[in-house]
Amino acid sequence: MKAILVPEFLTDPSTLTPTTTPAPKPKPDEYLIRVTHCSPQHADILHAQGKHQNTHPKKGHVHPPFILGYDFAGVVEQTPSGDNSGELSKGERVFGASIGAFAEYVAIKPHMLRRIPDGLSSETACAASGQAVSFAAAAYVANVRAGDVVLVSGASGGLGSACCSAVKALGARVIALVGDKGKAEAMRRDMDVDEALVMEGEEWVDRVREITDGRGVDVVLDNTGMVTEATRCVAYGGTIVILGFAARKGEMEEVKMNRLLLKSITLIGYRFGEDGRRYPAKLEEIWDRYLRLLTHGQLKPFIYGQYNGLGDVGRALKDLAERKVYGRIVVSLDTTDASAEKAKL
Ligand SMILES: NC(=O)c1ccc[n+]([C@@H]2O[C@H](COP(=O)([O-])OP(=O)(O)OC[C@H]3O[C@@H](n4cnc5c(N)ncnc54)[C@H](OP(=O)(O)O)[C@@H]3O)[C@@H](O)[C@H]2O)c1
């Protein structure tokens, strides 16, 4: 099969091109999936460079040579054997996450796969697959209610844009914080955000206060690592949810705790994957609601550009590294599937 193989860690992953490599042989308890779409993200760059926690020489599980990629959608090619035959049938459309997704085939355990509901395209499922955390953070962790005002940092990113969509679906107003004017424009045009502010200097903090008549926002969903700034824009009794540290370059911020006390702020960290492992029933409820909202168009993914074939993965990684991307990239691997899929909708 063709795949994006990382023979050894490298500085510039955008130079990677597809090579021919043996297709994975699924274990008896694994599915074999023919990949139709994959979604490159920043973590893939870190994996290829050997800078991700998963590539740690002792504690990590990803070591060269390995096939790059994580989020994907595809079609069941082969089901697990014997007693393990599983719930999915050959030919069913699925999405999931597994190292090795930038390939024509991936072998994967059942618990890492989900069926794509009828009415939801494989492209959308692929774009949204890693983003259920956005809906969970807004609806379950921050308890966002209709009429609330929510500030989202890193709003143009994969998770940030999904957060904006989740906040809108819950009937709240969203203020999107982005890196430049072009992205602010794209957010207003394509994501229906109420306000899009460029995170430059100090002016945006004043603007948040103006927009909320001096009160501050009810909730901050922080994807970039800006709790200090968040304490300045949140209302008395407001909530800040820490989701990621995209802008911190590995250096964590120190927060003056008195700021939390003075405004009775609730500061919560949220780790979606671990939470799901500990509370599987809640995870299923979240996925059920999230997929229903996606299928009915109440949540919409923000898909950037056009990328076709594994040969475009390098370009996707370059665009990500240069911070050109807003929303999620989806690379289509098989156009015949796209038409088969349309026929199903
Ligand atoms: N808590 C969880 O369970 C969970 C789950 C998934 C992901 N995450 C984390 O959430 C964060 C966001 O993930 P993502 O997939 O949305 O990432 P992403 O697509 O790369 O988006 C991050 C956004 O942050 C902004 N940003 C600001 N300064 C940046 C900098 N110096 N370098 C890169 N980006 C910068 C960028 O927007 P502008 O260019 O507009 O500034 C970018 O669009 C990551 O830290 C990720 O690890 C957490």
Rounded to whole angstroms, the maximal C-alpha distance in the chain is 64
- CATH number (domain holding residue 260): 3.40.50.720
336 in a domain, yes or no?
yes
Take atom 11 of ligand 1 and give the residue whose Cα is closest: 244
Residues with CB under 6 A from ligand 1: 41-42, 133, 154, 156-160, 178-179, 183, 223-224, 243-247, 270-273, 323
Take atom 13 of ligand 1 and give the residue whose Cα is closest: 159
283 in a domain, yes or no?
no
72 and 188 in a single domain? The answer is no
CA–centroid distance, residue 258 to ligand 1 (Å): 27
90 in a domain, yes or no?
yes
CA–centroid distance, residue 159 to ligand 1 (Å): 7
109 in a domain, yes or no?
yes
For 57-101, how does the pLDDT look when each residue is reduced to its tens digit (9 = 90+)?
999 999 999 999 999 999 999 999 866 667 899 999 999 999 999
CB-CB contact of 128 with 213 (8 Å): no
CA–centroid distance, residue 158 to ligand 1 (Å): 7
Whole domain around residue 223: which residue ranges? 131-273
Write down the mean pLDDT value for the chain.
93
29 and 87 in a single domain? The answer is yes
Cα 82 from Cα 84, distance rounded (Å): 5
CB-CB contact of 272 with 253 (8 Å): no
- CATH number (domain holding residue 84): 3.90.180.10
CA–centroid distance, residue 315 to ligand 1 (Å): 19
Q: State residue 345's pLDDT score.
A: 47
As a whole number, mean pLDDT of residues 128-139 equals 95
Domain count, the chain: 2
For 186-240, how does the pLDDT look when each residue is reduced to its tens digit (9 = 90+)?
999 998 899 999 998 889 999 999 999 999 999 999 999 999 999 999 999 999 9
Q: State residue 336's pLDDT score.
A: 56
Q: What are 171's two structure tokens?
A: 């009937």
Of 256, 273, 290, the residue at which a domain comes to its end is: 273
Question: Can you tell me which atom of ligand 1 is nearest the CA of 249?
Answer: 31
pLDDT surpassing 90 at residue 38: yes
What residue has token string 């021919």?
Answer: 20
Percent share of the chain, pLDDT over 90: 86
The helix-helix angle for 42-49 and 313-321 (nearest 10°) equals 100
Q: State residue 317's pLDDT score.
A: 98
Take atom 21 of ligand 1 and give the residue whose Cα is closest: 157
Q: State residue 81's pLDDT score.
A: 87
**How much is the CA Rg of the chain, to the nearest whole Å?**
20
For 244-275, how does the pLDDT look when each residue is reduced to its tens digit (9 = 90+)?
988 887 788 999 999 999 999 999 999 999 99
Of 251, 273, 295, the residue at which a domain comes to its end is: 273
Best residue among 141, 224, 253, 290 to mutate for probing ligand 1, ranked by most atoms within 8 Å of CB: 224
Q: What are 215's two structure tokens?
A: 């009160």
Of 257, 273, 289, the residue at which a domain comes to its end is: 273
14 and 56 in a single domain? The answer is yes
CA–centroid distance, residue 302 to ligand 1 (Å): 14
Residue 39 confidence class, pLDDT cut points 50, 70, 90: very high
Q: Are strands 19-20 and 173-178 parallel, antiparallel or unpaired?
A: unpaired
83 and 202 in a single domain? The answer is no
Cα 197 from Cα 293, distance rounded (Å): 27
Q: State residue 189's pLDDT score.
A: 92
Q: State residue 126's pLDDT score.
A: 97
